[in-house]
Chain A
Amino acid sequence: MKLSTLTRTAIVTAVTATMLAACGQGSTTDTPDAGADDTPSADDAPADGDDPSAGPGEAPAAAGGDTLTLWLAGETDTPVELEEWLVTAFEEETGATLEVQRIPWGELLQRANQALPDPDNTPDVIEMGNTQVPTYTSVGAFEDLTGLLEELGDIGPEGFIEAGTYEDTVYAVPYYWGSRYIFFDKAAFEENDLAVPTTLAELSEAALALRGASGDGYSGIWLPGQDWRNGISWIFAHGGDIAVQEDGQWVGKLSSAESVAGLTQWQELYEGATTAPQDGRDAEPWVPFNNGEAAMFMAPSWARWSVEEAKAEDLGAFALPGVDGGVAPVFAGGSNIAISAQSQHKELAADLLRLIFSDEYQTMLAENGLGPADSEFTSLMGDDEFAEAAIAAASSAKLTPASPEWAAVETATVMEEAFGRIAGGEDVATVAKETDAQLADLLNG
């Protein structure tokens, strides 16, 4: 087989291209997504062009024809009717158009990294997970909201405001909160003469008793080994913590006596009461429940809607109990919302925040089971056992360490691997100590 000069040159070019692409793949600043992201917002560009003249404080009427971009996290997290209400109300209020883009959680950080620094492509208002926000407040990605706070009313939870605060300035406010609690199969509890647990030890007892109650693969509680987002509650319940700031330095706290006690109790529970895989995480914990293979699982409130009809009849809920009764602190789920520092429509963006914190919108959030930032509306979440469990669990919810570097801990799957090793039977104290070293290393940047 003979190759002509042309073929040869073509091969060399192709190979060179492939090898360059090999490194392009590794290069992290230029992902192929970037091009796709640009398209929708590129339409705004002409409107943006004449905007600088219309400075902040301009009357809303002048905003006619402008488009404000709002990024909502998750495909379905904010119900569609809420989005529709916002779009209509925003147009009535300001005369400008509101364009809502839903960004899947998995892509949010990466796309935010690309869009937020760029005035032409930035979303004006952006929703972000409460643990992701600190990563951005410290680098000046968001607008200072201190001046707006009073207008928004009495908002919380406090931990969410802290997450959105950097050096005493509030950059991101709570959007909604959710909380994790235990879902359980009432029928299974009844058949085995078990009462709803009121302490963590009772929960373990019940789970151990139910293990194998209905076949070899049956779990007393579905407790995946790497699911630290739920597992962390056992640490919190015993008074432990992930990491704290001491003298300006982050120090890992998994090896504290309290944390080790919590992890040990969790390890016993994993070993004796579950058939969940050692490397399982928090995705779809309702699947084994639906299949009749688990008596309990722990999940955020919205998991309720994923339980199949046949099972929903016997579905019950309770907040994870504390060590000596009461309620154990859970890992708070939920979002913050912020205005991009690069937004060309900051006054309109502020108007949107005012709408989000309006009584109507807060009512709609609560009625849809999303914890409203304004606690006045919390009671509207309902009074059934699910709402009660959610509200009880939220009352003592905790957040991840508010270090700008926390995102690095998540992407390096430090917590997942620590819990996975403990689930695998490794010595709790050893794993905790090693993980503390990793945490200190990452959190201090």
Chain B
Amino acid sequence: MSQESGTVLAAVPPAAVAGVPGPAPRPGRRSRRGLGPYGLLLPAIALLVVAEGYPLVRQVIMSFQEFGRAQQFGAPPEWVGLDNYRALFTDAQMWAVVARSLAFCVVTVALTMLIGTAFALLMLRVGRTPRVLLQVSMLLCWAMPVIAAMTAWQWLFDTRYGLVNWSLNTLGVGDFTRHNWLIEPLSFLLVATVIVVWMSVPFVAFTAYAALTQVPEDALEAGQIDGANAWQRWRFIIYPSIRPALTIVLMLQIVWDLRVFAQIHYLQGVGGVPSETHLLGTYIYTLGVGQSEYGMASAFALFVLVLTLVLTGHYVRSLLRAEAP
């Protein structure tokens, strides 16, 4: 993928990239242009430092401490060096949680991206009325508060009175009388996947649709005249044009699905076997808020941060490289 972006850029003459009309740029103008945008970012950065920086520093410190409920009520924390990390990395359950979360993330992100992009393409093709209908319903999914949506989903998958069991029974798919969707960890995660994908598709679809409307009409026309079929037009014209947008969305989805919390926490409260269905978020929550092992929870949270950076670093880099002159 990064190789491709290299070739695209290589095809563009360097002068066009630099975009400088005269032989020598006026220095004054240049520096104003360079600093202005950064100045505008200052308030956001200041907010980040206060709202995120402080907790982060505190978390790093706590991850090297024995910090429990007694410490929360004023007892001095004890420095334990790398003990928290050692306990964490030798814990089989923790690795099971990491593996489960990664698998969950890969599946949900892939499904979300595929379905979202497919919806975007669909919106491009269909007429105005169905498109508006589609957009409105997706906007409603997207705007629905998580807990409200989860309550509805819980009822849909209810063991006794759920619509899903009733529908499957009525359709004759099999005997789903009092079928319990949450008791098996795999089935639990399947339900969670359906819900998380349902909630994330609208964002992907809208972003991809916005990008699709920017695909140059003339390039498509030229491709058509040259005899490119639908697949080739997608592969060589549409996809390369919307890729930057898709990359950003993909990155955000990875981050979101890796730290998914509310949906899993809610489902665990409803049924299933929590110790076998923990993902990163709920596991850290149980460690910290539940068992007051704030030191351990901090250590794990930092590990998750590193994991997230590793997973998304590639995309951040390719984004930056794609735009570098």
Among residues of B, the one whose C-beta sits closest to the C-beta of A141 is B73
Chain B: number of interface residues, binned into ranges: 35 or more
Kindly specify which of B82-90, B198-206, B294-302 makes contact with the partner chain.
Answer: B294-302
B contact residues around A26 at 8 Å (CB) = 259, 280-281, 284-285, 288, 297, 300-301, 304
| 9 A-B residue pairings within 8 Å (CB atoms) | A1-B244, A22-B255, A22-B308, A24-B52, A25-B259, A27-B58, A109-B289, A279-B180, A279-B183
Q: Which of B37, B178, B268, B272 contacts A275 (CB 8 A)?
A: B178
Q: Is the CB of B271 within 8 A of A16?
A: no
A425 contacts the other chain (Cβ, under 8 Å)? no
A contact residues around B259 at 8 Å (CB) = 22, 25-26
A13 to B241, CA, bound (A): 23
Q: Which of B273, B308, B323 contacts A420 (CB 8 A)?
A: B273
Interface membership of chain B positions 249-272, coded 1 if the CB is closer than 8 angstroms to chain A and 0 otherwise: 001100110110100000010011
Q: Is the CB of A13 within 8 A of B44?
A: yes
Q: Is the CB of B294 within 8 A of A28?
A: yes
Q: Is the CB of B211 within 8 A of A1?
A: yes
Instruction: Determine how close the nearest CB of chain B comes to the CB of A107; give it in whole angstroms.
Output: 11
A413 to B271, CA, bound (A): 11
Q: Is the CB of A277 within 8 A of B305?
A: no
A61 contacts the other chain (Cβ, under 8 Å)? no
Q: Is the CB of A117 within 8 A of B305?
A: no
Instruction: Determine how close the nearest CB of chain A comes to the CB of B271; give it in whole angstroms.
Output: 4
Among residues of B, the one whose C-beta sits closest to the C-beta of A424 is B183
Number of A-B contacts (CB under 8 A): 174
A292 contacts the other chain (Cβ, under 8 Å)? no
A contact residues around B286 at 8 Å (CB) = 411-412
Instruction: Determine how close the nearest CB of chain B comes to the CB of A328; give it in whole angstroms.
Output: 27
B72 contacts the other chain (Cβ, under 8 Å)? yes
Q: Is the CB of A9 within 8 A of B292?
A: no
A15 to B251, CA, bound (A): 8
Contact residues, B39-84 vs A (CB, 8 A)? 40-41, 44-45, 48, 52, 55-56, 58-59, 62, 68-70, 72-75
Among residues of B, the one whose C-beta sits closest to the C-beta of A106 is B269
B13 contacts the other chain (Cβ, under 8 Å)? no
Given contacts A1-B245, A280-B159, A416-B274, 20 further A-B contacts (CB under 8 A): A8-B320, A12-B316, A12-B320, A13-B45, A15-B252, A15-B316, A17-B44, A19-B305, A22-B255, A26-B285, A26-B288, A26-B304, A27-B298, A216-B177, A275-B178, A278-B183, A279-B180, A279-B272, A408-B290, A424-B183
Instruction: Determine how close the nearest CB of chain A comes to the CB of B183; give it in whole angstroms.
Output: 5
A contact residues around B244 at 8 Å (CB) = 1, 3
With contact pairs A117-B73, A139-B72, A217-B178 given, residues A11 and B45 touching in the complex (Cβ less than 8 Å): no
B291 contacts the other chain (Cβ, under 8 Å)? yes
Q: Is the CB of B289 within 8 A of A117?
A: no
Contact residues, A370-418 vs B (CB, 8 A)? 404-405, 407-408, 411-413, 416-417
Task: Tell me if B's interface is mostly helix, strand, loop or mixed.
Answer: helix
With contact pairs A19-B309, A25-B259, A412-B286 given, residues A1 and B242 touching in the complex (Cβ less than 8 Å): yes
Q: Is the CB of A117 within 8 A of B74?
A: yes
B111 contacts the other chain (Cβ, under 8 Å)? no
Interface residue ranges, A against B (CB under 8 Å): 1-3, 5-6, 8-13, 15-30, 109-110, 113, 116-117, 135, 138-141, 216-217, 226, 275, 277-281, 288, 293, 404-405, 407-408, 411-413, 416-417, 420, 424, 442, 445
Q: Which 9 A-B pairs have the closest CB atoms?
A: A411-B290, A28-B288, A26-B301, A279-B271, A23-B305, A408-B291, A6-B37, A20-B52, A26-B284
A113 to B70, CA, bound (A): 11
A contact residues around B289 at 8 Å (CB) = 28, 109-110, 113, 411
B contact residues around A6 at 8 Å (CB) = 37, 40
Most buried by A among B271, B286, B304: B271
A contact residues around B309 at 8 Å (CB) = 19
Q: Is the CB of B308 within 8 A of A29?
A: no
Q: Is the CB of A22 within 8 A of B304?
A: yes
Among residues of B, the one whose C-beta sits closest to the C-beta of A7 is B323
Instruction: Determine how close the nearest CB of chain A comes to the CB of B38; give it in whole angstroms.
Output: 7
A217 to B160, CA, bound (A): 9
A contact residues around B273 at 8 Å (CB) = 279, 417, 420
Among residues of A, the one whose C-beta sits closest to the C-beta of B52 is A20
B contact residues around A23 at 8 Å (CB) = 56, 59, 301-302, 304-305, 308
Q: Is the CB of A19 within 8 A of B255?
A: yes
Among residues of B, the one whose C-beta sits closest to the C-beta of A23 is B305
A349 to B211, CA, bound (A): 62
Contact residues, B113-134 vs A (CB, 8 A)? none
B contact residues around A275 at 8 Å (CB) = 160, 178
B182 contacts the other chain (Cβ, under 8 Å)? yes
With contact pairs A8-B323, A13-B44, A275-B178 given, residues A113 and B55 touching in the complex (Cβ less than 8 Å): no
B248 contacts the other chain (Cβ, under 8 Å)? yes
A279 to B312, CA, bound (A): 37
B275 contacts the other chain (Cβ, under 8 Å)? yes
Q: Is the CB of A25 within 8 A of B261?
A: yes
Contact residues, B169-202 vs A (CB, 8 A)? 177-178, 180, 182-183
A contact residues around B44 at 8 Å (CB) = 13, 17
B31 contacts the other chain (Cβ, under 8 Å)? no
Most buried by B among A20, A28, A405, A442: A28
B7 contacts the other chain (Cβ, under 8 Å)? no
Q: Which of B41, B55, B261, B280 contacts A9 (CB 8 A)?
A: B41
Instruction: Determine how close the nearest CB of chain B comes to the CB of A414; give it in whole angstroms.
Output: 8
B319 contacts the other chain (Cβ, under 8 Å)? yes
Instruction: Determine how close the nearest CB of chain B comes to the CB of A139; give it in whole angstroms.
Output: 4
Q: Is the CB of B308 within 8 A of A19?
A: yes
Most buried by B among A6, A27, A280, A424: A27
B3 contacts the other chain (Cβ, under 8 Å)? no
Instruction: Determine how close the nearest CB of chain A comes to the CB of B97; give it in whole angstroms.
Output: 12
A contact residues around B285 at 8 Å (CB) = 26, 28
Instruction: Determine how close the nearest CB of chain B comes to the CB of A118; give it in whole angstroms.
Output: 10
Instruction: Determine how close the nearest CB of chain B comes to the CB of A411; give it in whole angstroms.
Output: 3
Most buried by A among B55, B69, B297: B69
